[in-house]
Amino acid sequence: MTTPAPDLLHLRAAGVSLVLDCAGPLLPRVLHWGADLGDVAVAELEALRLASIPQIAGATVDLPVPLSVVPEQSVGWLGTPGVTGHRHGASFSTAFRLSGAVTLGAGEHPGSQRVSVRATDDDAALALVLDLELTASGLVRTRVALTSTAGADVPEFMLSSLDLSLPVPTEADEILDFTGRWIRERTAQRKPFTFGTHLREVRKGRGHDATLIVAAGRAGFGYRSGEVWGVHVAWSGNSRILAEKIQGGARHLAAGELLLAGEIILAAGQTYTSPWVFGSYGDGLDDMSARFHTYLRARPQHPSVANGRPERPVLINVWEAVYFDHRLDKLVALADEAAAIGVERYVLDDGWFRHRRDDHAGLGDWFVDEVVWPDGLSPLIDHVRGLGMQFGLWFEPEMINPDSDLARAHPEWILATGNRLPPEARFQQVLDLGHEGAYNYVLERIDAILTEYPIDYIKWDHNRDLIDAGHSPTGQAGVHNQAAALYRLIDEIRARHPRVEIESCSGGGGRADLGILDRTDRIWASDCIDALERQSIEAGTGLLVPPEMMGSHIGSPHCHTTGRRHDLSFRAGTAFFSHLGIEWDLTSASEADKAELAGWIALHKAHRGLLHTGTVVRADHPEPTTWVHGVVATDAAEAIFAVVQLSSGPNQGPGRVRLPGLDPTRQYRVQAIDPADAMGNRTGADRLQWWDDGVQLSGRTLDRVGVQAPMQNPEHLVLLHLVAVATARDA
C-alpha cells in the first residue's frame, strides 16, 4: 500500500513503512524506515517532515544538514559521501538537483513498488537515476545509474565510489556483522555503535571473511526481539558496507561496490549502474531474515515445487570419497551404494578433465581426460542415470593453472597488471573473463560438455582470491569487469541449458550474495563438513539464504578438515534442514551406518516440503552451549526443531528450551524423531519420559515455558516434531 502526496511518498508492505521526502531540489531523504506507521494522512506526513528537520548545530553550517539516499558534502554532510570521484582533480564534490518528476510504479517483482528519481549536477556534468523499491516482503532495495553528461572535450569522470545510504534511528546503538575464514565462515561479532565509521570491505573478489549483512539495532537484540536494521550488497565482486555515526547525531548504514583505482572511468555518455543495495528491517533477526527468504522464494526462478521444480534432490558429492582418484569401478560402486540408500543426484567433482591428477595442473583444459576416461564420461553417467539419479559435474571456469595447455597458449588471458603475475594460490591464477577470447573459450567449452552429456547440475567453484587482478595489456584493475562478465557467462549458459541447476561453491561460502543467487540454485556454505563448525556457519549464512538454497552434507565419521569425530546422528541432524547431501566414501561405511543413513534420508524426504518452504525460527536460549532452531510451516500446522548441545555447559543439562514461532492459540503434539532411535541406538539415559508418546502443549506455552531438553553429551542433537492437534474449537 502506498500513500502518495505531491512531494511525499509513504510506501508500505509486510509490516514495514518507508517515508520518502522528495520535495527537492535536493536528492530524496528517508524520513522513516521501520515499523509500519499505518494509514497516515498526508497532513501527518507533512508534520513528520517538519519534525524531521535536523537541528542546526553550533560551529557548523548555518542550515540543517540533510542525509539523503546519496549523501553529499555540498549540503554540509561531512560523513562518508555517496559519490566520490573527479575529472582530473576537478568536480570532486557533487551537488545534484532533481531534474524531473518523481515517478511511482510497479517494481521488478510482483507486489513491489518502485520510486524513480532523476537528478543532475550541471557543474560536474553528471546525471543520475535513483531507483528505490519496497518489495512485497518489506525489503528496501536501491541502486543508482550515474551518467557522464560532459562533452567530448571535457576530461572523463573517474568514479571512486558510489554508496547508497539508509538512515537508522538513535535506538540502533549496537552493530552486528560477520567475519571468518576458509572453513570457518560467518562468525558473528558485535560492537557498540560508536562515533566514527565501522567499515567492512571485500577487496579480493570474494570473501570467506566477508559479512553478508551489517545490522544495527537496540543493544542486546536477538533472534526474536529487538528492532534491527540490516544492509546487504547484491554483488559478487568487491563490495563495502559501513555503519557510521557523526557528531551531529545522524547514523546510517551505507553500501555499494568497492571500486579499485581506475576501474570505472566515464567518458561522455557512459553510465555506471551500481549493484542493488538491500535493506531489511525486523523485530528481531528472525523477522529481518524472513524478509530475505520470502523475497527469494517469490522469484519465478526459485528452485521450488511452486515453480514447477522437483523437491530438492538428496545428492552425493564424491570429492571427499575419492578426491582426484577417478577410477570407473570405484565411482560406479559409490553410485550403487548411494542409490541403495535413497540418493537422487550424483556429482562428479574435480579431476575429470585433461592433466588433472592433482591441483597443480589442468585448470582451463575443459576436455574430458582421454587417459582416465578413454570412453568419455558416458559409462559413468549412463550407470548413474540408469540407477534413477541425476548427474552433476564440477567446473572452475574462472581459474587457470599455469601448468595447462590453455595458459601456455594464451598467457595474456590471465588477470595481471601487465608487467607481472600475481602470486599463485593453490597453484592457480585467475582467467580474465573480461577478455573476449577467454570469455568465448570458457562459454564454448562448458556449452560443449553440457551439449554432449545429459548433465543436470553444475558445481561452479572459485578457489582463490583476486589479488593484483589487472586486465592485460593495459593493466587496468579488472575485478569489476570480472564480476560483470561472470554474470553474463552464467546468464548465457542458463539461456542455452535452462534445465541445468548451478551451485555457487567458491571454495565454500566465498560467494554467497543476492547477485549470484539471482543466477544460481544453491550455495555451498563451507568446505568444512564438520557438523560442529557447520552449526555456526549455517546460522550466519541462513540469515540471508533460505535452507533449500544452502548445501549441507553428511561427511565421514572423521572430518577431513578439522580431524574431529562425530556420531552419525549429529552429522545427519545438522545437515537435515538444508539441501541435504552426502560427502563420504560409502563403500567403506558399515552396514549399520548405511542403514541409519538411509533412515535419515527417508526422514528428510518425508519432511523436506516443510523444511524448504516454512519459516526459519531461532530461539534466544540463555545458555550459549545450547542452540535451538527450527522451521515452522507457513500455516503453523507443523514444525520441526533441533535442540543442539554444542559443548559441555556449567549445568547438568540445558534445562527447558522454548520453541518460538508457533500459533499461540493452537495445541501441538511434541515428539522426538530420530532414525537411530527406531533402531534401538538410544540408551535409557538419553531418553525423557514423554518421548515415546509425546506431550501436548499450546504454542503459547511452548514459546513462554518450553519443554525439558534431554541431558546430552557435547556435540549431540535431538529433533522435535510438532503437529497441531485438532480441537473442538477447530472443528
Binding-site positions for substrate read 182, 349-350, 426, 459-463, 505, 527
| Non-local CB neighbours of 86 within 8 Å, separated by 6+ positions | 92, 157, 158, 160
**Residue 527: active-site member:** yes
d(CA 307, CA 667): 32
Instruction: Determine how many CB atoms are found less than 10 A away from the CB of residue 75.
Output: 17
d(CA 507, CA 396): 10
- Kindly report each contact of residues 676-684 with a partner whose C-beta sits within 8 Å and lies 24 or more positions away, as own/partner: 676/568, 676/569, 676/596, 676/599, 678/599, 679/595, 679/596, 679/599, 681/569, 681/596
Instruction: Determine how many CB atoms are found less than 10 A away from the CB of residue 624.
Output: 9
Grid cell 540533510 in the structure block, residue:
66
**Residue 461: active-site member:** yes
Cβ atoms of residues 169 and 34 within 8 Å = yes
Report how far apart, in Å, the C-alpha atoms of 76 and of each of 159, 339, 376, 537, 729 are: 21, 66, 67, 42, 62
**Which one-letter DSSP state was computed for residue 635?**
T
Amino acid at 218: R
d(CA 418, CA 731): 75
Report how far apart, in Å, the C-alpha atoms of 119 and of each of 98, 152, 444, 455 are: 4, 21, 42, 48
**Residue 722 is placed in which grid cell?**
510438532
Give the dihedral sign, CA 485/488/491/495.
negative
The CA-based angle 158-163-166, given to 5 degrees, is: 160
d(CA 284, CA 35): 12
- Sheet of strand 716-725: strand arrangement: 615-618, 626-632, 638-645, 716-725, 667-673, 695-698
| Non-local CB neighbours of 10 within 8 Å, separated by 6+ positions | 2, 3, 4, 17, 18, 19, 20, 37, 40, 45
Cβ atoms of residues 264 and 256 within 8 Å = no
* Alpha helix (H) residue ranges in 616-730: 675-678, 699-704
Instruction: Determine how many CB atoms are found less than 10 A away from the CB of residue 222.
Output: 15
**Active-site option among 527, 663, 677, 703:** 527
**Residue 370 is placed in which grid cell?**
582421454
Cβ atoms of residues 538 and 525 within 8 Å = yes
**Active-site option among 163, 365, 369, 461:** 461
d(CA 54, CA 26): 15
Residue 23 burial (10 A CB sphere; 0-12, 13-18, 19+): middle
d(CA 7, CA 21): 6
**Which one-letter DSSP state was computed for residue 547?**
G
Q: Beta partners for 157?
A: 266
Question: If you compute the radius of gyration of the chain from its CA atoms, what whole number of angstroms results?
Answer: 27
* Alpha helix (H) residue ranges in 241-386: 285-297, 319-322, 328-340, 378-386
**Which one-letter DSSP state was computed for residue 108?**
S
Residue 92 burial (10 A CB sphere; 0-12, 13-18, 19+): middle
**Residue 606 is placed in which grid cell?**
518425508
What three-state secondary structure class fits 508?
helix
Active-site positions?
461, 527
